[in-house]
Amino acid sequence: MMRRIAVTVVAVLPLALALAVAPVGAQVRQQGSPIDDLLDRSNNAYNDLEYSRADTLARQVLALGSSITVAQRTRALTLVAAAAYPDDPPAQRRAASLEAIRRIVRSNLAFSMPQELTWPGLTALVEEAKRTTFGMEVNADSLQVAVGVDGRATIRARSSRPGRFQLTIGQEGGSTLVRDSATTGPDNAVEFRIPVMRNERPLFSSARYDVTITGIDAAAPDTVVTRYAVTADAPPLAFADVNMKMDSSKLLAERTGRFGYKSVLPALLVGGAAFALSSTLRAEGNIATEVGADSKGMAVGGALALTTIVAGFMDRGRQIPANIAANKAYGEAFQKSIADAEAENRRRVAEYRTTLRFDLGVR
């Protein structure tokens, strides 16, 4: 009897657990952010034709300011516009709807009303807002890889009317890394090509940067400022050492040593020998009796000694061919090491990769 009860409990337990967990999972899925909950309630009120309540709830979201995301802000303004201009003439507040749409298209020129909220009159109002408002939109591939000194990342911007765009990229509270400006062309568009290297050095480090794009209306004193984020993956660029100074201690002597002071002793010997030899020689005739042999020997010996010493100090030594060849080989190897290091550094610069991830949600 106990065994049957145990088997029954084991068989029923998984089902009981599943029934117990399922409501919890459903509750977790149903739980969104309080802001999204307000927006859902505003949308439900609009569907129930409670336009005033839909407007109030959407404006509560807008009042939170920077606490909401770009998507939440756009959805709230969309609900305000739809609630202010429904397909029900007595409930229409055209000016309020147009103002909300203009706030959207100033930084999102490609905006269109969701199908479930729009009707022909509201669609026409969106087109009017785009015609009468200086708006802009920014596009860029979310993932871009730039290689080498000529590598570039691209950001495209377009405005509803002719104007000028300014671009800056930098870290919050830090210096500006990139600054550029451009005037729109016939299609009211510009393209910014962002360098990733400067002077063959990475311009970015691995960090998150602010991208600020300012649109300036050419026809009126109107300016739209949008901020985006870009995350850079830019590892440090390590260079090979280029040793420009040769180690002279490794050079071999290319000549034997100079004779120098070592010539003094041979000079004395040569001079002494010359003097001694001259002392034993006698010329014939009057010279032999009028000039002493010792004085002639002293002059000759002194001249020979002096000549030997001068020759010793002028001696440069004898060339050593093997050492000359070794020094030449060492010099060539040194120059090649410089060329190889410089070539390696050029390769590293040419192959250096900067990866940029753009988040084009307006901030």
Q: What is the pLDDT of residue 247?
A: 84
- Whole-number Å distance between alpha carbons of 10 and 18: 13
DSSP 197: E
One-letter identity of residue 24: V
Alpha-carbon gap, residue 298 to 275, rounded angstroms: 5
Q: Copy the structure tokens of residue 220.
A: 């009126």
Q: Are 55 and 84 in contact (CB under 8 A)?
A: yes
Residue type, 94: R
Residue with tokens 């940067």: 209
Q: Which residue has the tokens 């998507």?
A: 71
Q: Are 117 and 151 in contact (CB under 8 A)?
A: no
In contact, 234 and 261? CB cutoff 8 Å: no
Query: Which residues are CB-contacts of 175 (< 8 A; sequence separation ≥ 6)?
Result: none
* CA pair distance 300, 166, nearest whole angstrom: 96
DSSP assignment letter at 319? B
pLDDT at res. 27: 35
pLDDT value of residue 309: 62
Q: Do 215 and 136 meet the contact criterion of CB atoms below 8 Å apart?
A: yes
- What are the DSSP calls for 99-146, one per residue? HHHHHHHTT-TT----TTT--HHHHHHHHHHHHHS--EEEE--SEEEE
Query: How much is the pLDDT for 72?
Result: 93
With tokens 């309080």, the residue in question is 34
Q: Considering only CA atoms, which of 47, 132, 109, 111 is closest in space to residue 82?
A: 47
Spatial distance between the Cα atoms of 27 and 12, rounded to a whole number of angstroms: 24
Q: Among all chains, which residue has been given the structure tokens 């040419």? A: 350
Residue 201, SS3?
A: strand
**Do 271 and 302 form a contact (C-beta atoms < 8 A)?**
yes
In which residue ranges of the chain is pLDDT below 70? 1-32, 257-306, 308-317, 362-363
- Tens digit of pLDDT for each residue in 78-89? 999 999 999 999
| Closest among 357, 350, 344 to 151, alpha carbons compared | 350
CA–CA dist 136, 68 (Å, integer): 21
CB atoms within 10 A of CB 225: 14
Q: What is the pLDDT of residue 299?
A: 64
| Dist CA 161 CA 225 (whole Å) | 15
